[in-house]
């Protein structure tokens, strides 16, 4: 239902391991330093939700701290032969003025891994994320660029924004989220970053026997929340998986990848997006991708259109098109005299996009991997404007090379990972495109994640 996870369990409840799967911390070397404690001065923030410190000449990546603090840390991964260690700040000796009390009792060492920055004041969180984006562009693309992370409407001071959360299930059928870099499930009664409609289904109070995961989503349009249950692997699951009754929620079971068995209500959500003076309604299947922050779709559409400035009659590409969010907006902009080619490989997203883009004759939807579609000539010989919204791993050199060969006058690159963005921006630079503008948005408050929209144009243009 979404790209990433959620947040934490109730104080005092035991931490359980899900399904007997091994946890990473148990696979220790004979020279393990796990559990060792020492004091460090905390250095800069790094990509990944931690800060950099040094101890005995070794780099230590420390969570639950802030640059400039002095803390006592406990090693969570690493040994004498390791190049670096991972650690948690278990005691703050000299606090940063940006330190605050975490709103969630389990957003702390040894417990939920869903949030990285709950201990940091919200404006300072955005400064940390901006520093990470700027550092990745400097290190991987050789660019010095000021970065500001913008707030997005739709959350409550950084809380209650996650409209889609995938909860793991422990061996006793209780729902929660996993510890950082672990398979252990921390059982929850609430998750402060998750939208109230998700929590209001009662999913965290029920027992989910024979289940591995319970995904819950609420849409911005009409209809009840949707709960999708993934059965546990390796167990004798009853033919009709017994499920609890939920308050005012649709219910479905994932019977195979991309296939849902309806148990009550509908297996999709309606999303309503008002952006750039137009309203669009989208149908998104229970297993499909949609932005998790309620303000994200409109903010991203307006940022992309503002960057590209698509004109009537132009040829536009929407690569990694998903359910058709950007393709619908591009179709409005280029009009009936223009064309939009939308490319998506996920079968569920393609089905959604066909419904959502029906009636917009200027849009052609291709069910294919983006690299294969470009290599096969689906995009033709040229394009005027491009929306590039790849997965977290980025577009990659092959896609960027084929895209640059089409000679677009502007590319709007939507990125959820600053390192992948920087690598692809560097490749664009080799091929004659430069980064003209960058906007960053705080679509994932309390976590390390940040969304960017980068505008790339031919290097010779002003």
Which residue is it, tokens 């209500």?
A: 265
Contact 9, 172 (CB under 8 A): no
Q: How many CB atoms lie within 10 A of CB 230?
A: 18
Question: For residue 216, which of 165, 285, 271 has the smallest C-alpha distance?
Answer: 165
Contacts of 405 (CB under 8 A, 6+ apart): none
Consecutive H or E run containing 426? helix 418-430
- Measured between alpha carbons, how far is 296 from 266 in angstroms, rounded to an integer? 24
Annotated binding residue 184: no
CA dihedral defined by 281, 287, 291, 292, rounded to 10 degrees? 110
Q: Which helix (H) or strand (E) holds 230?
A: strand 226-231
Q: Of the candidates 321, 319, 390, which has an alpha carbon nearest to the alpha carbon of residue 354?
A: 321
What 3-state DSSP class applies to 198?
Answer: helix
The Cα 22–Cα 77 span in angstroms is 15
**Within the chain, what is the greatest distance between any pair of CA atoms?**
68
Q: Which of 55, 16, 59, 58 minimizes the C-alpha distance to 38?
A: 55
Q: Which two tokens stand for residue 221?
A: 């349009």
- Provide long-range contacts, Cβ within 8 A and 24+ apart, for 32-36: 32/78, 32/79, 33/75, 33/78, 33/79, 33/80, 33/82, 33/85, 34/75, 34/76, 34/77, 34/78, 34/79, 35/74, 35/75, 36/74, 36/75
Residue 287's SS3 state is coil
Cβ density class 40-53: b for 16+ within 10 Å, e for less: bebbebbbebbbbb
Q: Are 132 and 46 in contact (CB under 8 A)?
A: yes
Is 291 part of any known ligand binding site? yes
Question: First vs last Cα of the chain: how many Å apart?
Answer: 40
Residue 402 dihedral angles phi and psi, to the nearest 5°: -70, -35
Q: At which residue do the structure tokens 């690299």 appear?
A: 371
192, two tokens: 């402060």
- Which residues have a catalytic role annotated? 416
Residue ranges of the binding site for S-adenosyl-L-methionine: 291, 320, 344, 389
């Amino acid at each position: 239902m979404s790209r990433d996870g959620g947040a934490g369990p109730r104080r005092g409840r035991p931490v359980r391991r899900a399904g007997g799967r091994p946890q990473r911390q148990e696979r220790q070397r004979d020279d393990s330093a796990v559990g060792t404690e020492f004091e460090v001065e905390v250095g800069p923030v790094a990509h990944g939700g931690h800060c950099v410190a040094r101890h005995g000449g070794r780099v230590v990546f420390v969570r639950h701290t802030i640059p400039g603090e002095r803390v006592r840390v406990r090693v969570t991964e690493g040994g004498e032969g390791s190049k670096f260690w991972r650690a948690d700040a278990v005691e703050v000796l000299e606090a940063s003025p940006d330190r605050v009390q975490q709103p969630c009792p389990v957003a702390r060492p040894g417990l939920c891994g869903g949030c990285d920055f709950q201990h940091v004041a919200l404006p300072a969180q955005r400064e940390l994320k901006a520093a990470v984006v700027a550092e990745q562009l400097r290190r991987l693309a050789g660019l010095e660029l000021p970065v500001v992370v913008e707030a997005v409407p739709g959350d409550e001071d950084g809380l209650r924004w996650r409209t889609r959360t995938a909860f793991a299930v422990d061996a006793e059928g209780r729902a929660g989220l996993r510890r950082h870099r672990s398979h252990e499930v921390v059982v929850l009664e609430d998750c402060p970053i998750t939208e109230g409609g998700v929590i209001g289904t009662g999913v965290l109070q029920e027992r989910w026997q024979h289940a591995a995961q319970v995904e819950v989503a609420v849409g911005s349009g009409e209809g009840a929340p949707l709960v999708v249950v993934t059965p546990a692997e390796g167990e004798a699951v009853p033919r009709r998986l017994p499920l609890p009754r939920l308050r005012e929620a649709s219910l479905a079971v994932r019977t195979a990848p991309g296939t849902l068995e309806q148990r009550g209500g509908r297996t999709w959500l309606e999303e309503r997006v008002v952006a750039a003076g137009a309203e669009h309604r989208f149908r998104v299947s229970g297993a499909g991708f949609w932005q998790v922050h309620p303000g994200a779709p409109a903010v991203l559409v307006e940022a992309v259109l503002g960057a590209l400035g698509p004109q009537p009659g132009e040829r536009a590409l929407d690569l990694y098109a998903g359910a058709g969010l950007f393709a619908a907006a591009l179709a409005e902009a280029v009009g009936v005299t223009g064309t939009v080619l939308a490319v998506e490989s996920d079968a569920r997203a393609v089905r959604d996009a066909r419904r959502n883009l029906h009636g917009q004759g200027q849009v052609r939807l291709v069910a294919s991997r983006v690299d294969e579609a470009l290599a096969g000539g689906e995009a033709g010989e040229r394009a005027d404007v491009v929306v590039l919204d790849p997965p977290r791993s980025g577009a990659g050199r092959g896609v960027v090379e084929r895209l640059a060969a089409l000679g677009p006058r502007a590319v709007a690159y939507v990125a959820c990972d600053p390192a992948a963005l920087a690598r692809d921006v560097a490749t664009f630079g080799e091929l004659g495109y430069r980064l003209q503008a960058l906007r960053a948005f705080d679509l994932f408050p309390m976590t390390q994640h940040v969304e960017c929209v980068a505008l790339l144009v031919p290097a010779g243009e002003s």
